[in-house]
Amino acid sequence: MKTIQSMMEHLYWANSLIAEGMAKQNVSHPDALTLLRHTLVAEKVWLTRLEGKDSFEFVLWASGELQELLHMVKQNEEGYRAYIGKLREEDLDTIVHYRNQSGQPFENSIRNILTHVALHGQYHRGQINRILRMESSEPVPVDFILFKRQ
């Protein structure tokens, strides 16, 4: 449980840092905004599935406004903190049955879903940082070890 909690703490920190970094630099590159929105919507999709609900209403790939995305960062953190706060170690191996956005059925453990959520965002934050660098903006350092050094 401690590893999952640590990875999720990093996710909250990294999401906030990259969104705030983009806001401070007035980043408006549509690909960067789309990637950040995708990351945040995917997190919401997985939380919805973990809560036993359908996630069909969510559009994974679309553009977003930075102020809306900053709000989503906070909403996601609150939602995951509430969900994880109720989990016990033995709950992590519980199997969750869900359908993907195309309606195809799948099942995975809570542990694997939370691990995926934590890792998925790091991939896209890296893509965002590449865009920032290409646009002559400063990349936002969001590596796990930097989080742990604080």
Work out the percent of the chain whose per-residue pLDDT is above 70: 100
The secondary structure of 24-92 as a DSSP string is HTT---HHHHHHHHHHHHHHHHHHHHHTT---TT--SS----HHHHHHHHHHHHHHHHHHHHT--GGGG
Question: What residues form the annotated binding site?
Answer: 38, 120, 124
| Both structure tokens of 127 | 């893509």
Burial letters for 48-85: b for 16+ Cβ neighbours within 10 Å, e otherwise? bbbeeeebeeeeeeeebebeebbebbeebbebbeeebe
Q: Assign 10 to helix, strand or coil.
A: helix
The CATH number of residue 122's host domain is 1.20.120.450
Q: How many domains does the chain have?
A: 1
User: Residue 87's pLDDT is what?
Assistant: 97
Nearest by Cα to 51 from 76, 15, 14, 16: 76
Span 82-106, mean pLDDT? 96
Which residue carries 């069909």 as its tokens? 56
Binding site feature residues for a divalent metal cation: 38, 120, 124
Average pLDDT over every residue of 73-93: 98
pLDDT in tens, 112-143: 999 999 999 999 999 999 999 999 899 999 99
Domain that holds residue 141: 2-149
pTM over the 0.85 mark: yes
